[in-house]
A and B are shown apart, each in its own frame.
Chain A
Amino acid sequence: MRKCSTANLDALLRTIAENASLYLPVDGTDGRAHFTKWEDGVKMSDALNTVRSAKDFFFPQTENLMDFKVEGKTIEIIDTREECEDFVIFGVRACDVRSFDILDRVFLVDPVDTYYKNRREHGIIVSMACTRPSETCFCRTFGIDAANPGGDIVCYKEEDAWYFDALTEKGQALLSKLESLTEECDTAAVDAQKDLIRERMDKLPLADLTADAFGGDKLNTYFNAPEWKSLSQSCLGCGTCTFVCPTCQCYDIKDFKTNKGVQRFRCWDSCMYSDFTKMAHGNNRTSQLERFRQRFMHKLVYFPANNEGIFGCVGCGRCLSRCPISMNIVKVMKELGGNA
């Protein structure tokens, strides 16, 4: 465990930024935190979480897959992939760190998504423990420990100092570059913080929420549950929940006709949209009830069915605070789970 005095934090960030692009949560002009590239004078946000999740770094909202250049009767295929440069994401919360594991299970299994893999290999995650979890937090439901957020380096912020501990080789390499700004220390302060965090987690309004009623074998239990009707009846069909979600990973691949050729790109898609997975025969989910059900069944049943019981939700609470009609996975779990 190494310690950096709060006065030295700017110097520490500067040192990190000298070797790699550094991103950290910064309050925007809208008064909310967004991951922003560090430069001199940028102040880290005190907010618990960013509006958009950290998944953007590995799975951006849109990315170019390839270009086609048309000249006369020839079509040239241009590979737009480039080796990504090293980057560091600083201040990632435990929920978002876990979301990377979930995304890995989608993008890093055969066939491996090389676009994603490239970024994943070059990204270093400095996580941060949550001393003030919010009322919307329920990461513990999914076995996440906000006091041990994981990542390549874990950090704990105290009034007078920041504490760092490397968890991986990548993290060790980065931390060793910061040796002059940090000093070796014992774990007393961090242990105290961990106790505080766990105590606070116990008292959260959603502390008792469990996912025990859900899992890969519950398809028949819930698929035709009558509750879906009332749960989905006021859903607007917008994509807010999907787009702020750190684990939603569905995308669409589309062609954009530029003036000289075609750009093939992929972009986030939402199962809440009426044209999601539209095929030649039309849509396979024609009502909002079916679309709504898909999103929650995917996270609570289909995903664990294919991934050793791991749920596709990390309890970050973004959908709880952003949904225009305040419908969310917690309400769904409570409504369905109560009748299981």
Chain B
Amino acid sequence: MQKVTREILLAKAAELLAAGTVNRVLGWKAGEFTYDVTPALFTTAAELEKDFVYGPFSGANFSKYLVKETRRDEGKVLVFLKPCDTYSFNQLLTEHRFDRERVYAVGIPCDGMADIQRIKDQAGDGVSGVECDGDNLIVHTLYDGDKTLAMADCLAERCVNCKSKKHVAYDELIGETGDVIDSHRFDEVEKLEKMTEDERFAFWQNELSRCIRCNACRDVCPACTCEKCVFGNPNSGVENKAISDSFEEKMFHVIRAFHVAGRCTDCGECSRVCPQNIPLHLLNRKFIRDIDNFYDEYQAGAEVGQRAPLVNYKQEDLEPSEAVERSGNNA
């Protein structure tokens, strides 16, 4: 398979800018230490040449930025989409959240993105730079010299459990698209389901109690595109800026996950951004798994215009009591 490099993307972006197909490019901007890549808009080839990067830390899902970008009456924007991003892209289109006419989408293959925390766990703190070398990463450290880590050991959780290498939306494709993967993404959910009620409660109490309500999970989520979030609305009665009682963290996370149930494509951004390392994707995956088990297999964003499972029904649907019985260990 063709390996996507910065040069290939750069050439493509410059070509599309020059041809006038697009007038700006949504891309990744270099930071201080290789891994701190920031999503940014580029408008000229010179800007791209200077700051555009693509590498193992170009993980941010750009789909949500299209909501804001396509509202500007300024021609087309070029966006690079990894396979997982294309699902969010389709889901947002299904919900009419952005104007497809104002986007030029280039699909790019992806072998998985790195998680700097996993790298630091192995190489120690003080990572001044990271270089790719085939299937390895060469990590420059401040105190322990260079360390070579296998990329496979540095992958973000969502990439270890990648669900699809297939691009479900694009105007143009660089390289080849792949297939939907039979992933192990529900293993962790299953493990929790098999625990006892008390164990599950203890697990989540421990995880969720770290929440600081920064709202990063909500703000980054491509499915959370409400103009005004119920948790940010002082008139809703549930708005809170910080957790004052342990009830609130549960309320927030249950409702956050519920609001995107059936619309969440499992892109994993929520867990990526969580400053407290809470495995938020497990809540979303629980809903996805339940939807698959209770109703029909459903992958949000697989096609534009699908009817989401929570705005759908069948006369023979199972009863909530049965759902709970089937949902896990009830000891």
Contact flag (A, B; Cβ within 8 A): yes
Contacts A135-B126, A275-B234; is A31 near B277 (CB within 8 Å)? yes
- Which residues of A lie under 8 Å from residue B128 when comparing CB positions? 135, 205
- Which residues of A lie under 8 Å from residue B219 when comparing CB positions? 236-238, 324
B window 101-127: CB within 8 A of A: 116, 121, 125-127
- Which residues of A lie under 8 Å from residue B31 when comparing CB positions? 326, 331
- Which residues of A lie under 8 Å from residue B214 when comparing CB positions? 238-240, 242-243, 270
CB-based nearest A residue for B228: A274
B window 259-283: CB within 8 A of A: 272-273, 275-278
What 1/0 mask marks residues of chain B from 204 to 231 whose CB sits below 8 Å from any chain A CB?
0011001011111011100000000000
Taking a contact as CB atoms under 8 Å apart, the answer to whether B32 and A330 are in contact is yes
Taking a contact as CB atoms under 8 Å apart, the answer to whether B232 and A267 are in contact is no
Contacts A47-B125, A135-B128; is A256 near B220 (CB within 8 Å)? no
Min Cβ gap B247→A in Å is 11
Min Cβ gap A268→B in Å is 5
Taking a contact as CB atoms under 8 Å apart, the answer to whether B232 and A265 are in contact is no
- Which residues of B lie under 8 Å from residue A268 when comparing CB positions? 241-242
Min Cβ gap A233→B in Å is 6
Contacts A324-B216, A331-B31; is A29 near B126 (CB within 8 Å)? no
- Which residues of A lie under 8 Å from residue B55 when comparing CB positions? none
A278→B233 CA distance, assembly (Å): 11
* CB of B74 within 8 Å of the partner chain: no
Residue from A62, A204, A320 whose CB has the most chain B CB atoms within 10 Å: A62
Could you say which of B36-44, B250-258, B299-307, B320-328 contacts chain A? Answer: B36-44
CB-based nearest A residue for B33: A135
Of A61, A200, A252, A330, the residue contacting B243 (CB under 8 A) is A61
Of B33, B41, B126, B218, the residue contacting A132 (CB under 8 A) is B126
Residue from A31, A243, A254 whose CB has the most chain B CB atoms within 10 Å: A243
Taking a contact as CB atoms under 8 Å apart, the answer to whether B234 and A62 are in contact is no
Taking a contact as CB atoms under 8 Å apart, the answer to whether A322 and B275 are in contact is yes
Min Cβ gap A197→B in Å is 12
Of B206, B242, B277, the residue contacting A267 (CB under 8 A) is B242
CB-based nearest A residue for B118: A31
- Which residues of A lie under 8 Å from residue B65 when comparing CB positions? 234
* CB of B136 within 8 Å of the partner chain: no
- Which residues of B lie under 8 Å from residue A224 when comparing CB positions? none
- Which residues of A lie under 8 Å from residue B35 when comparing CB positions? 326
- Which residues of A lie under 8 Å from residue B41 when comparing CB positions? 230, 233
* CB of A244 within 8 Å of the partner chain: yes
* CB of A327 within 8 Å of the partner chain: yes
Min Cβ gap B56→A in Å is 14
* CB of B240 within 8 Å of the partner chain: yes
- Which residues of A lie under 8 Å from residue B243 when comparing CB positions? 61-62
- Which residues of A lie under 8 Å from residue B127 when comparing CB positions? 135
A121→B40 CA distance, assembly (Å): 46
A window 257-290: CB within 8 A of B: 265, 267-270, 273-275, 278
Min Cβ gap B210→A in Å is 7
Contacts A240-B275, A273-B241; is A132 near B212 (CB within 8 Å)? no
Taking a contact as CB atoms under 8 Å apart, the answer to whether A134 and B126 are in contact is yes
CB-based nearest A residue for B239: A275
* CB of A325 within 8 Å of the partner chain: yes
Taking a contact as CB atoms under 8 Å apart, the answer to whether B241 and A267 are in contact is yes
* CB of A206 within 8 Å of the partner chain: yes
CB-based nearest A residue for B69: A233
* CB of B17 within 8 Å of the partner chain: no
* CB of A143 within 8 Å of the partner chain: no
Taking a contact as CB atoms under 8 Å apart, the answer to whether A48 and B212 are in contact is no
CB-based nearest B residue for A64: B244
Taking a contact as CB atoms under 8 Å apart, the answer to whether A265 and B244 are in contact is yes
- Which residues of B lie under 8 Å from residue A322 when comparing CB positions? 275
Min Cβ gap A112→B in Å is 23
Min Cβ gap A288→B in Å is 9
A325→B272 CA distance, assembly (Å): 10
* CB of A81 within 8 Å of the partner chain: no
Of B240, B242, B273, the residue contacting A324 (CB under 8 A) is B273
A205→B35 CA distance, assembly (Å): 14
Taking a contact as CB atoms under 8 Å apart, the answer to whether A234 and B273 are in contact is no
* CB of A51 within 8 Å of the partner chain: yes
Contacts A31-B277, A47-B125, A265-B244; is A236 near B206 (CB within 8 Å)? no
* CB of B8 within 8 Å of the partner chain: no
A73→B205 CA distance, assembly (Å): 40
28 contacts between A and B (CB under 8 A): A28-B210, A62-B242, A134-B142, A135-B33, A135-B126, A203-B142, A233-B41, A234-B38, A234-B40, A234-B65, A238-B214, A238-B215, A239-B241, A240-B216, A240-B275, A243-B213, A244-B275, A267-B242, A268-B241, A269-B241, A270-B241, A273-B241, A275-B232, A321-B116, A324-B219, A324-B272, A324-B273, A325-B60
Known interface pairs A331-B31, A331-B32; 13 further A-B residue pairs with C-beta atoms within 8 A, sorted by A's residue number? A132-B142, A135-B128, A135-B142, A136-B33, A204-B142, A205-B32, A205-B33, A230-B41, A238-B216, A238-B218, A239-B214, A243-B212, A275-B234
